[in-house]
Amino acid sequence: MILSDRTIRELIRKGELSIDPFEDSLIQCSSVDLRLGPEVVRFRKGDVIDVKKPVENVVKESLEEGILEIKPKEFLLATTLEYVKLPPTVTAFVEGRSSLGRLGLFIENAGWVDAGFEGQITLELYNANEVPIRLYVGMRICQLVFAKLDREPERVYRGKYSGQRGATPSRIYKDFLKNTE
């Protein structure tokens, strides 16, 4: 069941769902808009990315001027301004904003935020257009659609991205380590 604006506000008021910083104006009828945060990760050209090793050919950038320009056909990681804490009975879908998609900007995060997740959300941005796209820190970039689980899971999310802050490169290499999610 997708949660309505009333249910989202109620969960926030009870402290069961946390979005920080929070502005009531970000709540839509069945979602919450999240804003672009001040950090991105760009990939440098170079060696092959080996999924069994930490990603090393990246450069973290602080968007001190508040402007992000994404070149045509460029892929990068960005972060949300908001730090989100989901209760163990709520999951969320990350959706790009239609208005940005109509400019050729693809916004993802693998599309899913597990119940119990806590952290800023790393977004994968791809400019499919033939011209650069300019974005601004603090602008609405995506939306979270919340869904209620039928009951509390046996194991809530405590994975390799729990508590992340800023644009976080892939940690898939941890899948190959013993005793790691």
Q: Among 76, 44, 83, which Cα is nearest to 68's?
A: 76
List pLDDT tens digits, range 7-34: 999 999 999 999 999 999 999 999 999 9
> What does pTM read for this prediction?
0.93
Task: Spell out a b/e string for 99-130, using b for 16 or more CB atoms within 10 Å of the CB, else e.
Answer: ebeeebbebebeeebbbbbbbbbbbbbebeee
Catalytic residue among 124, 130, 152, 154: 124
Residues in the chain: 181
Tell me, yes or no, if 69 is annotated catalytic. Answer: no
- Distance from C-alpha of 27 to C-alpha of 24, rounded to nearest angstrom: 6
List pLDDT tens digits, range 55-81: 988 999 999 999 999 999 999 999 999
Task: Say which residues have a Cβ less than 8 Å from residue 56's Cβ, sequence separation at least 6.
Answer: none
- Distance from C-alpha of 17 to C-alpha of 128, rounded to nearest angstrom: 34
The three-state secondary structure class of 158 is: coil
List pLDDT tens digits, range 92-105: 999 999 999 999 99
pLDDT of residue 46: 80
* Domains detected in the chain: 5-176 (2.70.40.10)
Instruction: Tell me the β-bridge partners of 143.
Output: 33, 95
- Distance from C-alpha of 175 to C-alpha of 17, rounded to nearest angstrom: 29
